[in-house]
Structure 1
Amino acid sequence: MNPFDPLREQLASAAAAFGAGLIDDVEMAMKTDVEIFPVCHHSPASGLAMVRRLREKQPKVIYLELCEDLRPVLDELRNCRLPVSLQAFATELDGFPREWAPLSVIAPITESSAEYQAIAYALDTPGVEIVLVDRSVDHVFQWEPRTEAADVGIEIGDLRPSFAALEEHLLHHGKVRHWSEWWDQYVEQPLSGADYETYRQVMVLIGSLFRRLKPTGNEVDEDRERYMWTRMREHLAATGADPADCLYVCGAFHAASPVMDEHLDISPRTATTWLYGLIPSSHSAIEQQFGLAPGSVSIAAATWDKALKRHGLASFQLGGKRKGKAPAPAETQGLHAFLTQPPQLDGFDEAELLGWCVDIVRLARRNGYLSSTADAIAIYETSILLAGMRNRKRPTPYDFQDAAITCIEKDVVPGRRDVKRLVEILLGGDKVGQVGYDSLPPLARDVLDRLQPLGLDLEKRTIQRALIDLDANPELEPCSHLLWILRRLLPDDAVRPIMGSRRLGERSHQESWDLAIGRNQRSIIELGYEGVTIEQVLEQRLRRAVWDAKATASVALDAVEDSILYLGNRRLTDELGARAVELLAGERSVDDAPEVLRRIRRLLAHYRATEPELPEWAKSFVTTGYAHYCTLLPTAFVEEETGVRQVGAMLGFLFTMEGLALSLGCDRAQLELAVQQSHPEAPAKVALLWTARYQLGLLTMAGLRELVGDLLDNPLVVPAVPQYVSGFVQALDSAAGLTPFVVEVLSRAFGQLPDEILLPWLPKLISTLRAQAPELVPMLVREAERTFPARLPEVDSFTPPWLAKPGRKKRAAAPSAGPVGELLVVYPSTGAAVGELLGCAPVSGGPEVGALLAAHPETAAALAEVLAG
């Protein structure tokens, strides 16, 4: 006895049992009381079989595998141009993890799908009811594992092997590149002309095969099937409908279910509020959503149109039926004959292939390719050659695509589209759907209505130019305002300003816009799921942004600015501002200090220009920020994680807001103490500390010059001079008066250091300034322009202002003024300005100024030291 005979018998028995199981599944599906119609989504063969069956059976009830709570949306398909997607959307969750928000379910519909044919038949045929029996959208997410993301696309009737080895085997032996091509060659084409019973049996057989080869368990799928059969039995019991008059449309995978007679106890829905609607879709979006090969849905649409003409079928469409001849009944074949005999494929269509070849050459020339008639001939012959190599009687669209790429594609694509994309366009293109006005959510309709004064057809998919003269046509101001809000909420290419701006303190007199609202209809529709008006959506988003767990003070200030620009709601602005104060007080890092400084400056300038006084939240923000940054300043100076830009912004806040903060009750001693407690080691931060001490009066200009001189004289420190310069430049944000000093530092370095030292660190200086202070460098350039001579002949006689010693004219001074009197004589205009600021008559050296200086000798001495420098 052969030792392998037992194993051979065991494997043969297992194979026989596996094959018998497939046939049992087919037999069971054929015997159900409610007729099962197995489908594959976007399959022309399924669509053709559905059209034939609906005309023959004329069912009274159609059960459809689709989320049951999407039923009201089906009626809105009348106002749409396919493809579109049914969508359920939820932002406020109750019963689901918060991090899942927003939740969305999208179910695309195309004209060639069997589901759409069933929907169109049911909605346009009196006395026919369509019932959606799949899980509700809420149950879809109830059944999702809590660890997974929650953006789900429902693929109706998907049929693809989940066993990777099987798919690879089929693609290899079928001599095709991807699953879509295999399905078209070995399922679509043979089944397009098959009789109904053969179609049903083949689809259930394929579904059973993939089901049995699925590597993971079918528990979730079986629960879905129990759900659907439970809903069908409930409907039959409630309505008394005859099962013989019903048709159950589901994916072929579910048609081979072993749980048809089992009941499921359906749990209640959560308290989450779901919004339902339609959004535009496209062939490419469907392909991307469900992992189909690029161009496969467009090819399926072209195959559908061609098959309708070839078989004389009239498809169903909402609003009417296509004209067509009565379909001739297909010859009965049966599952056994279908599997054992070669399929009766269409013969070689020479006219079709010639048309393709001529059209692709014409399209390629329009897109920059140097194609000619010779290329058309080459594509024709290559298509036939490839089909023969792949054992095909006629070239398929995929053979033609490969041939066109081989004969036309060059090393460089001359335009935006390659030949593969051109073939997809030729065979059907990326058809994009559209939702009609009547089926749009209230927000989208409101947007279109409010933009009507522009006189544009915004439902078109082309880009349209809107010209708005607000001085000549002030009635267009609301349209301009709405466009700026849309600019804030929609993608960049939907609403794009060409001329005009919207900033605090600015008003545009003329505006020009490029509008592609029709092309971005989906984005506007999704805004409609968040609110009734565009202003409500923006308000909700601003609130959500500032109360997010990752919100920062800069984010809140940005929201405050948006609320002023777009909403004009003082209550909301104050609420967002109060939140900004709260976030600033709770921050433990200063990473956003530059943004905080930039935004609060802009907001304070706006309020000072438009309001009699600052709002309370702004006052609180300044006092809180002053105390907050004073507290964090010593730590920020020494932490390596905190950059010089952040420390410079902190000092900018403290010194530029100091006057306001002190008037609101802050204590300057807190800042002085913070600076004295700071002991940085990084060169840039050391320079910042020096400037801070200078601004506080703890360091004189002479002392600052001496420190810089020591830097330039120390060869060990010279390589770090660019970092010191970076720190000085950062200080200009809070002390613009130091700009001449920074120019002096750079000039001294260039004049004092030898080339062997200067040249190595010059690139480092440039890169440091570009990286750390790009917006402050122009201040240095302007100051240098004022300081240095403008003409070359003047350079030789030029003396830098920090080296020049102005001559002093001796004049009699007031006895009470002492040496200050001499100073006022030398600088009369300065003395007059100081006296005027201090409340005295602007008479240089007069008795009023003399009395004032005598009463305040410290101030006079300090001023004299600065000016004598």
Structure 2
Amino acid sequence: MKATAGGPFAPLREQLAGAAGAFADAPGGLSGILAGMVDDVDRALREKLEIFPVCHHSPASALAMARRLREKQPKVIYLEMCEDLTPLLGELRNCRLPVALQAFATDLDGFPSGWGPLSVIAPITESSAEYQAIAYALDTPGVELVAVDRSADHVFQWLPRPEEDSGPEQRETPPEEAELHGDAVGVEIGDLRPRFAELEEHLLRHGKVRHWSEWWDQYVEQPLSGADYDTYRQVMVLIGSLFRRLTPADGERRAVDEDRERHMWTRMREHLAATGADPGDCLYVCGAFHAASHVEQFGLEATGPGFDITPRTATRWLYGLIPSSHSAIEAQFGLAGGSVSIAAATWEKALRRGGVKPYKLAGKAADPSRAARPLPVAAAPSPVTDRLSGFLSSAPALDALDESELLGWCVDIVRLARRNGYQSSTADAIAVFETSVLLAGLRGRARPTPYDFQDAAITCIEKDVVPGRRDVRRLCEILLGGDRIGQVGYAAMPPLARDVFDRLEPLGLDLSKRTIQRALLDFTADPHLLPCSHLLWMLRYLLKDDTVRPIMGERRLGERPIQESWDLALVRQQRSIIELGYEGVTVEQVVEQRLRRSVHDPSATAAVALAAVEDSILYLGARRFTDELGERAVHLLAAERTVDDAPEVLRRIRRLLAHYRATGADLPAWCEAFVTAGYAHYCTLLPTAFVDEETGVRQVAAMLGFLFSMESLALALGCDRNQLELAVRQSHPEAPAKVALAWAAQAQLGLLPRAELRARCAELLDNPLVVPAFPLYMSGFVQALDPAPGLTPYVVELLSDAFAKLPDRVLLPWLPMLIATLRREAPEMVPVLVREAGRTFPGNVAALDTWTPPWSRTAPAAPPVAASGPVGGLLARHPAACDAVAALLGCEGGWASGDGPGPEQGLVARHPETAEAVAALLAG
């Protein structure tokens, strides 16, 4: 519908055109903007479907909405809200505002994978026009509420996709302020703010205010809070038109706004055609920005082309309510801190002063028997008259100084400041009062606003010191209303959240309080509390915040708890539990889904699968499901081509094997398969890992630890030990730490005699070119203590020899590098080395002078033994085997000649029973 040249706004249009010609350098452009704004107002007011323009969380909009609903009594309310959020509105009865309607999706289909999870929220406060409309529609029989805005799926469909792997662009907000909303995309009714930076800067500078929220409160909220409906409506459309005409026409946001308007008008026309409702009985509630729409589909009599609404994607959306707060809303939508709290205080004051009766949802659903009761006859629409001329030409009536109100603020802020550590007094209260009046006068207003009072309090009380956690600005926000935090009622929660609260009832706590409560569990006195403990540990596993926090107690394999202590913040952290309910019906189901998803993730490794197996035993105890995860671990281990996770794999499989052995149950088939697969896998990769520069010493040591510690089980399951020997023989490392590790592995397998190992290490200490790198060799030997614990005495010996042989000029620069290397590469094995040194060295200084190292003592000569009998025959037939055993035990030398016994004969003489038994066994 086009605006007529005449009409009630013709004088205003001519007046504005004259002003543009008198004051503007280019009157043509300004005149067109001003005349266009008047045309937008005329067009919106002449529309057959009554348009109610609003601004989000605006007390003036809420007051005008309450008045208009009681006067018009509409039968259909079209609301600018995501159409798929409508079923949630009835659950607002069971909540304490502010809360937020939420659409949540984790399984994406049709969106880039990097965007997940997707979340859309729409906060609702009591001092908002949308809540008044919702409460009226739900509690008035025969009234239909229709959400006409795009769905949550379309919110993300219409977002630009510059990069497939990056998430949707969102406003940066401090985590501590937006924690209730997380990283959700906010959707609100009436996002009314200049989208032209120069305009906002101009308004703030000439309005003598600090930020946009203060400008809006001073120049829009206060004048419109007591205005009649026609004036309110025309002014709001005028402001929306101004901001719209100064928005860049080629911006992406402008295109999305226009598509939203086409969507809403299309949905309204479809509903009217389907129901046959009279447009005169309907009310369209939308943001003032959309009320001045220029799209072709605007109006019920629009002749523009239809708008094709794209189908939703296959993404599965889940819906619910989460708690919100004033600070979370401010952070989400870029409002000044405390502005929503001040708006709530303004709303309550306006209700007391103006006598407006607001709509408020009852605690339970309306009586169905009242549904057939007819509605009162709607008031006839009043003719369109020009209210803008009077509003724009006359200065707003300034409120007189309310001394009692200001004095109350000043006294209360001083009292609150003293409680928070400030050295404030009565003199500060007087100073805040006078400064507030002074600032208001400088800013052109007779009555100080809450913002004037806040500035005065900061100047007079805070100065430059904040003694506690809260500054004066925050104290003023608390004084003027505080950060009100909503709460979702029990009946409005998803089944999982209700199940959690029901199962924790035996704790005897008041789970409706927002405070952190301490739960003490003594299982000896109250064994029936064990299910509560099990549930709390599952919540701790699923929730990474402090919703449930253990103070005493831990969850480990094979341990039975005796006592536990917990800090519970289930109501304060409602959002976490509610969003957990989007993943399943019970906590156990969510745990199972997450474990299965973690092991089947493309980036999953064998270590991740073993961790999932352990978590499954701890939290679920389902043998079949645990075996499924274990089989996945075997598959992942066989498919790995690196050994980066070898230390984690070794640590977890050892713990799992110990658990199964301790419980007395049969070893699962997947454990046997994992050991055999790991034995073959690590034997195959061992030569490559020794020479690969990207593979660290810890990884190689963990591979050897797996092979040596699992050797007996692997051989019992059919593995071949020759595979391990061949892998060690084929390993030819060059890095010092890996060289020492290879020597230790050869010694453990019997491929390197102890005497030869001593000779190699002595050669390293004698070579001055190698001595600076000797700490790296020591690091390798210390790492080898896990796969070859029998080398611990020798490592102590080697380190002692180094301290004894190296001169001070070499040892002193060498020590810091040794300590740093051991701390960096083998911190967990140093205590083993220290304990062995404690057993080897004397316990006091006095004994040190006469102490002889055990490795330097010589064995006494044994009496000659004739090489006769079965033992002599055995030694004569197998001299090479006897030489190998003697060398392994540290005996040097060859066979004795005719003039005396050799070391082998001395060995036989010292252990005749053993020699006779072996001889009898071999003689058969």
Structure 1 segment 249-648 matched on structure 2, within 5 A: 249-259=285-295, 260=298, 261=302, 262=304, 263-319=306-362, 334-409=387-462, 413-648=466-701
Residue equivalent to 2:278: 242
Q: What is the alpha-carbon distance in structure 2 between the residues aligned to residue 303 and residue 578 of structure 1?
A: 63
Q: What is the alpha-carbon distance in structure 2 between the residues aligned to residue 180 and residue 533 of structure 1?
A: 43
Q: What is the alpha-carbon distance in structure 1 between the residues aligned to residue 463 and residue 816 of structure 2?
A: 43
Other structure's SS at 1:317 match: coil
Structure 1 segment 76-91 matched on structure 2, within 5 A: 76-91=91-106
Q: What is the alpha-carbon distance in structure 1 between the residues aligned to residue 66 and residue 864 of structure 2?
A: 112
- Whether the aligned pair in 1 keeps the contact of 2:59 and 2:128 (CA below 8 Å) is yes
1:641-679 per-residue CA deviation (whole Å, 9 max, x = no partner) reads: 222222222222222122222222222233223223323
Residue equivalent to 1:864: none
Structure 1 segment 665-704 matched on structure 2, within 5 A: 665-704=718-757
Name whichever of 142-151 and 165-174 sits farther off: 142-151
Q: CA RMSD in A?
A: 2.7
Q: Which amino acid aligns with 1:851?
A: A
1:772-819 per-residue CA deviation (whole Å, 9 max, x = no partner) reads: 222222212222222222223222222222233354665979964469
Q: 2:221 aligns with which of 181, 185, 188?
A: 188
- Whether the aligned pair in 2 keeps the contact of 1:501 and 1:507 (CA below 8 Å) is no
Matched, 1:47 2:62: yes
- Whether the aligned pair in 1 keeps the contact of 2:676 and 2:714 (CA below 8 Å) is yes
Other structure's SS at 2:607 match: helix
TM-score when normalising by structure 2: 0.85
Q: What is the alpha-carbon distance in structure 2 between the residues aligned to residue 420 and residue 682 of structure 1?
A: 61
Residue equivalent to 2:51: 36
- Whether the aligned pair in 2 keeps the contact of 1:502 and 1:565 (CA below 8 Å) is yes
- Whether the aligned pair in 2 keeps the contact of 1:443 and 1:531 (CA below 8 Å) is yes
Q: What is the alpha-carbon distance in structure 1 between the residues aligned to residue 863 and residue 349 of structure 2?
A: 106
Q: What is the alpha-carbon distance in structure 2 between the residues aligned to residue 724 and residue 405 of structure 1?
A: 64
Structure 1 segment 89-128 matched on structure 2, within 5 A: 89-128=104-143
Note closer, same or farther for the CA distance 1:241–1:377 as it changes in structure 2 (3 Å cut): same
- Whether the aligned pair in 1 keeps the contact of 2:75 and 2:281 (CA below 8 Å) is yes
1:722-742 per-residue CA deviation (whole Å, 9 max, x = no partner) reads: 222222222122122222222
TM superposition shift of 1:424: 2.0
Q: Which amino acid aligns with 1:176?
A: V
Matched, 1:132 2:147: yes
Note closer, same or farther for the CA distance 1:427–1:744 as it changes in structure 2 (3 Å cut): farther
Note closer, same or farther for the CA distance 1:523–1:320 as it changes in structure 2 (3 Å cut): closer
Note closer, same or farther for the CA distance 1:845–1:424 as it changes in structure 2 (3 Å cut): same
Q: What is the alpha-carbon distance in structure 1 between the residues aligned to residue 781 and residue 488 of structure 2?
A: 59
Note closer, same or farther for the CA distance 1:108–1:851 as it changes in structure 2 (3 Å cut): same
Residue equivalent to 2:187: 154
Q: Which amino acid aligns with 2:55?
A: C
- Whether the aligned pair in 2 keeps the contact of 1:86 and 1:106 (CA below 8 Å) is yes
Q: Which amino acid aligns with 1:37?
A: F
Q: What is the alpha-carbon distance in structure 2 between the residues aligned to residue 208 and residue 501 of structure 1?
A: 62
Residue equivalent to 2:893: none
Residue equivalent to 1:867: none
Q: What is the alpha-carbon distance in structure 2 between the residues aligned to residue 29 and residue 367 of structure 1?
A: 51
Note closer, same or farther for the CA distance 1:513–1:812 as it changes in structure 2 (3 Å cut): farther
Name whichever of 146-155 and 593-602 sits farther off: 146-155
Name whichever of 60-69 and 665-674 sits farther off: 665-674
Note closer, same or farther for the CA distance 1:231–1:586 as it changes in structure 2 (3 Å cut): same
- Whether the aligned pair in 2 keeps the contact of 1:171 and 1:178 (CA below 8 Å) is yes
1:731-759 per-residue CA deviation (whole Å, 9 max, x = no partner) reads: 12212222222222332233332333222
TM superposition shift of 1:294: 2.1
Other structure's SS at 1:466 match: strand
Q: What is the alpha-carbon distance in structure 1 between the residues aligned to residue 607 and residue 709 of structure 2?
A: 18
Other structure's SS at 1:343 match: coil
Residue equivalent to 2:79: 64
- Whether the aligned pair in 2 keeps the contact of 1:124 and 1:320 (CA below 8 Å) is no
Matched, 1:851 2:917: yes
Q: Which amino acid aligns with 2:150?
A: R
Q: Which amino acid aligns with 1:207?
A: G
Q: What is the alpha-carbon distance in structure 2 between the residues aligned to residue 554 and residue 167 of structure 1?
A: 55
- Whether the aligned pair in 1 keeps the contact of 2:93 and 2:363 (CA below 8 Å) is no
- Whether the aligned pair in 2 keeps the contact of 1:89 and 1:104 (CA below 8 Å) is yes
Q: Which amino acid aligns with 1:733?
A: D
Q: What is the alpha-carbon distance in structure 1 between the residues aligned to residue 342 and residue 484 of structure 2?
A: 11
TM superposition shift of 1:561: 0.7
Structure 1 segment 794-809 matched on structure 2, within 5 A: 794-807=847-860
Structure 1 segment 747-762 matched on structure 2, within 5 A: 747-762=800-815
Q: Which amino acid aligns with 1:532?
A: V
TM superposition shift of 1:704: 2.2
**Structure 2 unmatched runs, 5+:** 1-20, 169-183, 365-381, 876-881, 890-908
Residue equivalent to 1:3: none
Note closer, same or farther for the CA distance 1:792–1:415 as it changes in structure 2 (3 Å cut): farther
TM superposition shift of 1:111: 0.8
Other structure's SS at 1:467 match: strand
TM superposition shift of 1:513: 1.3
Q: What is the alpha-carbon distance in structure 2 between the residues aligned to residue 230 and residue 374 of structure 1?
A: 62
Note closer, same or farther for the CA distance 1:666–1:258 as it changes in structure 2 (3 Å cut): same
Q: What is the alpha-carbon distance in structure 1 between the residues aligned to residue 668 and residue 449 of structure 2?
A: 71
Matched, 1:781 2:834: yes
Note closer, same or farther for the CA distance 1:394–1:9 as it changes in structure 2 (3 Å cut): closer
Name whichever of 596-605 and 100-109 sits farther off: 100-109
- Whether the aligned pair in 2 keeps the contact of 1:43 and 1:114 (CA below 8 Å) is yes
Q: What is the alpha-carbon distance in structure 1 between the residues aligned to residue 142 and residue 284 of structure 2?
A: 17
1:47-79 per-residue CA deviation (whole Å, 9 max, x = no partner) reads: 122122122222221110111121111000000
Q: What is the alpha-carbon distance in structure 1 between the residues aligned to residue 66 and residue 492 of structure 2?
A: 26
TM superposition shift of 1:603: 1.0
TM superposition shift of 1:438: 0.9
Percent identical among aligned pairs is 73
Q: 1:175 aligns with which of 184, 208, 218?
A: 208
- Whether the aligned pair in 2 keeps the contact of 1:816 and 1:851 (CA below 8 Å) is no
Note closer, same or farther for the CA distance 1:49–1:587 as it changes in structure 2 (3 Å cut): same
TM superposition shift of 1:855: 5.8
1:553-578 per-residue CA deviation (whole Å, 9 max, x = no partner) reads: 11111111111111111221111111
Note closer, same or farther for the CA distance 1:776–1:373 as it changes in structure 2 (3 Å cut): farther
Note closer, same or farther for the CA distance 1:734–1:237 as it changes in structure 2 (3 Å cut): same
**Structure 1 unmatched runs, 5+:** 1-5, 322-328, 828-842, 858-869
